[in-house]
Structure 1
């Protein structure tokens, strides 16, 4: 077994096999230790840590909405405004029975009221359940029932989805009635004192995306904020001079952890774009707000790479997470954005923990295909072919177990409890750089060969006609499994036998002769979770 770890002073670990270490600089180590102590303290107060400690005149978020054909309307919200409004909402919620430990659903887009709600719940020691606005009623109900939540805070465009669900109390942003968001705030006095639940107290209940089964509830304790801050500082390298934009949706982990909580922790505003993604709107935001530090899913970068609208912008930092980056995107970004895009890796259960770190103290040359090295506070390795976390040696590891699911929790660990198994297969090279291969269930075993779909997808996406692709295994009597590809073509193009043969040959010459897809399906779109992850289990049923 080969593994790598980050040594945090006296926390260096040993294990059987060939090992590699690299030393964290003293100043980085001191930061991480301080954050772990502060956010993990028995008297940790999430509202203070996120908002009350900041200069009340400082800008916390900038909301952006398209206006007309060419313009943008921007609105700044300060820490003082967030503090006052969240105190008033907290007081109003107490009259509805919300208290410490109460779970409350939040079904809203990227708007100020979402942040106010999160902070109000933190003040009460209550738990915030994010609900993605693209969810239909059944997905919303499953999460509310799973979290035993009967109160939901939403907006007018989403309220109808809640009507079929029995037993709910709803508060609606934009509604002027008795249960309107602003109405409740106007009639409430500010809460005098926040509840400090401590580092182990729960702040959020976030459900996994469910790519390989029923979504599972992940309680996020206050002490997780230490790892979120470490990622903001050393993974993304968000500086005091940056115009930061994490474009991910706060209905999911990356957008919530590092688009809402992370910016509040480091005191640097994030941009909340109140519009769907398009390359044209993205270019306007880059240009008019002067974005210097950008984070988004690989699908955003792939879409941007297919159009010249963002060419010529210069970013200081660009980062990606959610699915591995394909090499073509990295090459494009150097020319179009003036910087490379660095891939980072994590999961809902613990946030980001292996990164191509941007901070000068930890940055190493980018190796295309690698997701980098462990983040300070985490010790990682490869166990049973899976990317794994050495729990006793990882003080920033915070996963408390799935909600009401001890068997599913136990399945995540080795029998001795030492290693947390991510379910993602991967490898580590001789220099300690980690590489993602596939979800454990997605690995294709053909005639004894283990083939990660990402390797094949990385080749297929380089074809100029291909804008999106997924590869799955199909049962085969002789080989066990064979590969099949599902390809989305650029607008106006049509797939045929000639293009199929061309793509098959591309894989033979660009990756491996045995790993080419036996069949190529040309499809209009790939099935994905709302967070953008490909649902390969659906593709396995097709074809």
Structure 2
């Protein structure tokens, strides 16, 4: 059914947001749209775009004027290496000022950003680079060893080489307009069923990202905003980089790995008022007795279902409840317990909230689904070079986008998540498809069959377990377990190794030979500690 509900003031939030949505679509969807202009050049040069924070909490403000000047020079350096409109440029970088300069340089040329998560190992990087056709990669120095074995790539290394290129290149003076339908980013899904699929993110998707910043997160003019998610994935890229720049609002970038202690210090010492992160961040904070002295105006969670303990803890510890939001790589955020006055309502236990203004959401075939006809901010039209996978995501008439996540909707229009796609694992806010991990494990000569599942974890939400069938001449051992875990770290991603490996005589299968992962999940979720 289609979503219809009233907010506390008796008006449909789509009505309240109609003028905003129209304005944003006109701004970001026009035929002359240029991402660098929209994200950087139209803002005052002296306005601060990002505050980049180092592990020792030293920081530097980065203005739009500085970004404009540096990215024009970097665009020239990219053009000299053959990059032009529509070309994919891979970026394997952490959160830093160089990252933002690199992205804007790419977009000035009308080229396409290919995000690479810094925890990826070489095979995961290579797959995405080859699938996108990228010929140039911008990489942090500490990530360089991962790509040294990849042939046919022009490498620009972060650090002195990057800085020298910016300093010595002439400013790029042209403007490459790709239009609202032009591709801004190609972001790969997590490989839930089969190989990861390329999602082309158009320039006009910025309108949807701004709607979430405004109505979901309620980022206000005087907020100190920090989205702690990594820009190698959708939530961090869309709402820690693109959304704030589209609004012209200052955002924090922490150039460091996660720890509860460091996160708490940033929240306190930089006076954060509006914070967004995965539930695992909040859970880690809740278990650290040193976390205190934090007072937020808004706190939001995305990436996995929010367990009830987090909002209960946060009301006292953070001064505000954490609100749950739902979205996908293909959509951005679409269902929210919104913070803005126009849509804010009391949060029902277990609810993800209601449709974000600009979207109409309902239930089709038991799945959460987006009405493409009545969702002016819907931007996803299909995967790159994957028509069969695209067809699976839409009803036959194209009217509904199917999320593959099951749920229900109550009489007030609130949505409740009941089950995610059977195979996807959400660990610490990262969606991990089992296929790539299984592909690594099955390559080991002792492994003849394998299934990877997620089991509950108090801190991370879920962790990976691998169910392995060994060859006749192999025997289970602690040494083999460590070897398989290390193999995943080396060939896929450091964060995605199986925390436990179960050795079985055979995997449960359907008559057609498909692995019945739900049986494995039921077995090991009940024994997880």
* TM-score greater than 0.5 by the shorter chain: yes
Following superposition, the deviation at residue 308 of structure 1 comes to 2.5
CA contact (8 A) 2:264 2:285 kept: no
User: 1 CA distance for matches of 2:494 and 2:224?
Assistant: 24
Is residue 37 of structure 1 aligned with residue 26 of structure 2?
Answer: yes
CA contact (8 A) 2:121 2:494 kept: no
Distance 1:538 1:253, change over 3 A: farther
Is residue 98 of structure 1 aligned with residue 98 of structure 2?
Answer: no
SS in structure 1 at match of 2:3:
strand
Counterparts of residues 111-510 of structure 1 (less than 5 Å): 111-174=96-159, 176=160, 180-441=161-422, 486=455, 488=457
Distance 1:378 1:27, change over 3 A: closer
SS in structure 2 at match of 1:338:
coil
- Residue 472 of structure 1: aligned partner: none
SS in structure 1 at match of 2:342:
coil
CA contact (8 A) 1:252 1:531 kept: no
Following superposition, the deviation at residue 66 of structure 1 comes to 2.0
User: 2 CA distance for matches of 1:86 and 1:320?
Assistant: 32
Following superposition, the deviation at residue 417 of structure 1 comes to 1.1
User: 2 CA distance for matches of 1:327 and 1:64?
Assistant: 31
Following superposition, the deviation at residue 213 of structure 1 comes to 3.0
SS in structure 2 at match of 1:381:
strand
Gaps of 5+ in 2: 428-452, 460-484, 499-515, 525-529
1:540 pairs, out of 487, 504, 520, with 520
User: 2 CA distance for matches of 1:407 and 1:25?
Assistant: 33
Following superposition, the deviation at residue 119 of structure 1 comes to 0.7
Following superposition, the deviation at residue 402 of structure 1 comes to 0.4
User: 1 CA distance for matches of 2:311 and 2:496?
Assistant: 19
User: 2 CA distance for matches of 1:324 and 1:338?
Assistant: 21
- Residue 471 of structure 1: aligned partner: none
Distance 1:134 1:361, change over 3 A: same
Distance 1:425 1:60, change over 3 A: same
TM-score, normalised on structure 2?
A: 0.80
Distance 1:209 1:400, change over 3 A: same
How many residues align structurally? 451
Distance 1:354 1:534, change over 3 A: farther
Distance 1:102 1:384, change over 3 A: same
User: 2 CA distance for matches of 1:84 and 1:37?
Assistant: 27
Following superposition, the deviation at residue 408 of structure 1 comes to 0.4
- Residue 2 of structure 2: aligned partner: 3
Following superposition, the deviation at residue 534 of structure 1 comes to 11
Following superposition, the deviation at residue 24 of structure 1 comes to 2.3
User: 2 CA distance for matches of 1:530 and 1:400?
Assistant: 29
Gaps of 5+ in 1: 8-20, 444-452, 458-483, 491-524
CA contact (8 A) 1:125 1:197 kept: yes
User: 2 CA distance for matches of 1:399 and 1:31?
Assistant: 20
2:53 pairs, out of 47, 61, 64, with 64
CA contact (8 A) 1:25 1:361 kept: no
Following superposition, the deviation at residue 307 of structure 1 comes to 1.6
User: 1 CA distance for matches of 2:381 and 2:346?
Assistant: 34
CA contact (8 A) 1:296 1:319 kept: yes
Counterparts of residues 77-96 of structure 1 (less than 5 Å): 77-96=62-81
